[in-house]
Amino acid sequence: LEEMFRRRCGEHARLPSSEAVLLALESAMDRFLPELANRAYVLPGAVEVLATLHERPDLIQCVVTGNVRYSAWKKLSSFGLDGWLDWRCSSFGSEARSRRDLILLACHRMRSLYSTHSSLVTTLIGDTVNEVLAAKSAGMRSIAVATGADDVDRLWRAGADAVFPNLTDLQAVVSAVVE
């Protein structure tokens, strides 16, 4: 958030308190929600993938995002996707400076909450080259879905362990996660 603020307001701008920034972001998200409902949609296959993975006792699903917690929760809950996720393990843009650090923070939270899992294998599912690279730099597998700005070829070249054009092939996506 500091970096974004400095880019918009200048290097020497006085930073507002973290609490003030978070409250402003929450207010902005509340104003944006009606527009979000008109412009955004749940990707085909997303609910089925989340539900199928949620049924597995050996898997933990969480969110790693550059959004602040409130915005992420509002976005996902407005489409009914929040219930499949363990929000205690999730990490948010206000908590770390890099995507890699957000991934590592979520992994730390998982290990702390689920210490009975002797070997935690983590797989990141994302739709950008940056997410694939962050997963690799954090030492984990990545599954890429070409539903964002990066196409299948770019995601493969970035080093993804599996790439899908979308989430509609439920068995293939689930198999890639659990292998």
What length does the chain have? 179
Question: CB of 147 within 8 A of CB of 43?
Answer: yes
Hunting for tokens 């070829």 — which residue is that? 153
Cβ atoms of residues 152 and 118 within 8 Å = no
Give residue 43's pLDDT band: very low, low, confident or very high (50, 70, 90): very high
Show the DSSP H helices in 1-157 as ranges. 2-9, 18-39, 46-54, 69-78, 99-113, 129-137, 152-157
Under the banding of pLDDT at 50, 70 and 90, the label for residue 149 is: very high
Contact 144, 163 (CB under 8 A): yes
- Residue-wise pLDDT for 46-85, tens only, equals 999 999 999 998 889 999 998 889 889 999 999 999 999 9
pLDDT-based confidence at residue 6 (cuts at 50, 70, 90): low
Query: Region 97-119: what's the mean pLDDT?
Result: 85
Share of the chain above pLDDT 90, in %: 60
Using one digit for the tens of pLDDT, what is the confidence trace for 154-164?
999 999 999 99
Q: Name the pairing type of β-strands 162-164 and 123-126.
A: unpaired
User: CA 15, CA 33: separation in Å to the nearest integer?
Assistant: 26
Task: Kindly indicate the confidence band of residue 17, based on its pLDDT and cuts at 50, 70 and 90.
Answer: low
CB 64 within 8 A of CB 108: no
DSSP summary character for residue 14? P
